[in-house]
Amino acid sequence: MSVQKVNSIIDASKSYEYVDNGSPKQGGVKDVYFSPDKKYVVAFYRDKKPEPTPIQKQQQKERIVKIVSTYLKNIKSGNVPDYFLDEIFRWPTDVVEKNNQLGIVVPIYLNKFFFAKGYKGNDMIKGGEKVGKWFTSPSFRNNQYPLSLDKSELGDWLSYFQIGINISRGVKKMHQMGLAHSDLSYNNVLVDPVTKSASIIDIDGLVVPGLFPPDVIGTADFIAPEVLSTKHLNISDPNRKLPSQKTDLHALAVLIYMYLLRRHPLRGGKIWDLDAEKDEVMAMGEKAVFVEHPTDNVNRVKVDHLKKWDVFWGDPKKIPFTVTGPYLSELFKRAFIDGLHNPMLRPIANEWETALLKTVDLIQPCHNPNCDEKWYVFDNTSKPKCPFCGTPHKGSLPVLDLYCKTKNDVWKPENHRLMVYHNQYLFKWHVSRNVIRNEGLTNNDKKPVGYFTFYQNKWVLVNQSLTGMKDLTEQKEIPINSMVELTHGKKILLSNEEGGRLIYVTMVN
């Protein structure tokens, strides 16, 4: 075992140390060595077969240098750089070279992205990386499965909404900079359901449109249909489709679907060819059909083919995609029906972020303390129940629709509602259209301004800090530190400032 030193090719004054024990950790295309203090890794690219041409080698070098200089600077000088560089990306920070081998320096993954326990009653993967794949399969969360994950690693259903929000924000940022990931998949995203975190990795393969072609076509399950169905064509053929921002959007939709529904949207029961390789290319490429397509039944899941630990989540009839609520259901239709073979129609990352955030406002806690998922999306019926364990909602349920004022002083519904539960909070982004709920929120913006509670058999909203709050039904001010009862048909003005909203109360059950 020896400590090696290597110099930056961008800044000659910088050098890095790594420990070489003769058997580096091997990724898909890189050999990875840890620094002595375990704060970063140095990852060298393995020689490819066939050997790249001098032009290809130069292109790769230029691309990586650009990613760790120009694009890293863009993030550092942009909005909330710490959020993106500490939480959302493991962005390479430097490029090194040794014995003609190119390498990159990448900060080590945060502690939360390594398993604390791993499998239930078996520490075989303890300390291993929490790649997203562990959390998209129903097997690993089924107690009867011999290698199920320890419950303490799994989080609850709400965890995966925040994971989806973080991934969407990462993709949105890359696309805003003109980049495409090219290989977005559950292998290149680390997740921690306990802290509701996600981090996009393998950033060094980014596609810079018009400048550097992609290295790979992607990972099975996440390759867009147009890429698979044209992969037989020569790379210079104008009809050949290569990874791009549009193919990232297919992969993003698949990831969100798999995190929330724990099955693949295109892997149904249809066999297109007896040759397994041809069948795969057809099923995920030109013949791809959404397993929950409302009018095309050709690719329905064959339930009797499912493994016994996959039956619950694997059967769309038991848990259809509509359990994700109206906003996400609409985007899943656009991604897997309209946009499946028409990339221009795919929802963009910002739309996924908005839909996930609005859906979080529709979430209700399950009344069953033993429910694995703990939360579900309100289904807009008069008798809501948890779709995962079947437990009905007990008692009355206030539903708050948000209204905003138009230029001619008319209140219009915003297609956004907030579900109430005991100790649910009201935030500034609910109160005013001027506060946008995104990664740029300040700590002050994140503080609750009110809360809902069930008090003396009544639902009430307690005003913690809003100065212009008013009960319009009773024509009464609602001062700070006072409360207002939520009753059917009640209208409450949250703010009298420009952009301020009104809530309209509907009592369910």
Q: Which of 506, 509, 507 is nearest to 401 (CA)?
A: 506
Separation between Cα atoms, residue 33 and residue 41, nearest integer Å:
6
Average model confidence (pLDDT) for the chain?
93
Domain at 395-508: CATH code: 2.60.200.20
Are 127 and 114 in contact by the 8 Å Cβ rule? The answer is yes
Give the pLDDT confidence score for residue 407 in this predicted structure.
81
Give the pLDDT confidence score for residue 60 in this predicted structure.
83
pLDDT band (50, 70, 90) for residue 297? very high
Give the pLDDT confidence score for residue 75 in this predicted structure.
96
Give the pLDDT confidence score for residue 241 in this predicted structure.
94
| pLDDT per position as a tens digit, 404-435 | 998 888 999 999 999 999 999 999 999 999 99
- Does 210 have pLDDT greater than 90? no
| pLDDT per position as a tens digit, 348-388 | 999 999 999 999 999 999 999 999 999 999 988 889 999 99
Q: Locate the DSSP E strands across 188-318.
A: 189-192, 197-200
| pLDDT per position as a tens digit, 234-248 | 988 999 999 999 999
Give the pLDDT confidence score for residue 309 in this predicted structure.
83
Give the pLDDT confidence score for residue 48 in this predicted structure.
73
Cα angle vertex 59, ends 56, 63, to 5°? 140
Q: Which of 87, 166, 191, 164 is nearest to 359 (CA)?
A: 164
Q: Which of 472, 481, 424, 482 is nearest to 448 (CA)?
A: 424
- pTM exceeding 0.85: yes
- Does 63 have pLDDT greater than 80? yes
The correct CATH number of 2-108 out of 1.10.357, 1.10.1760, 3.30.200, 3.40.50 is 3.30.200
Single-letter residue type at 332: F
Helix axis angle for 326-333 and 349-360, nearest 10°, is: 150
Give the pLDDT confidence score for residue 312 in this predicted structure.
87
Give the pLDDT confidence score for residue 509 in this predicted structure.
78
Give the pLDDT confidence score for residue 272 in this predicted structure.
95
pLDDT band (50, 70, 90) for residue 221? very high
Give the pLDDT confidence score for residue 144 in this predicted structure.
84
Cis peptide before 50 (omega within 30 of 0): yes
**CB-based burial, 409-429: b 16+ in 10 Å, e otherwise:** eeeeeeebbbbbbeebebbbb
SS3 content of the chain, % helix, strand, coil (to 5): 30, 25, 50
Q: Which of 409, 384, 410, 381 is nearest to 395 (CA)?
A: 384
Give the pLDDT confidence score for residue 284 in this predicted structure.
97
Are 450 and 463 in contact by the 8 Å Cβ rule? The answer is yes
Give the pLDDT confidence score for residue 368 in this predicted structure.
97
Average pLDDT over residues 461-478: 96
| Out of 55-59, 89-93, 453-457, 481-485, least confident range | 55-59
| pLDDT per position as a tens digit, 490-507 | 999 999 999 999 999 999
Average pLDDT over residues 177-184: 94
| pLDDT per position as a tens digit, 309-347 | 888 899 999 999 999 999 999 999 999 999 999 999 999
Give the pLDDT confidence score for residue 235 in this predicted structure.
85
Fold for the domain defined by 112-364: Transferase(Phosphotransferase); domain 1 (1.10.510)
Single-letter residue type at 106: V
Separation between Cα atoms, residue 263 and residue 283, nearest integer Å:
15
So where are the chain's domains? 2-108, 112-364, 395-508
pLDDT band (50, 70, 90) for residue 299? very high
Share of the chain above pLDDT 70, in %: 100
| pLDDT per position as a tens digit, 428-461 | 999 999 999 999 999 999 999 999 999 999 999 9
Give the pLDDT confidence score for residue 123 in this predicted structure.
84
Separation between Cα atoms, residue 302 and residue 283, nearest integer Å:
15
| pLDDT per position as a tens digit, 108-159 | 999 999 999 988 888 889 999 999 999 998 999 888 888 899 999 999 999 9
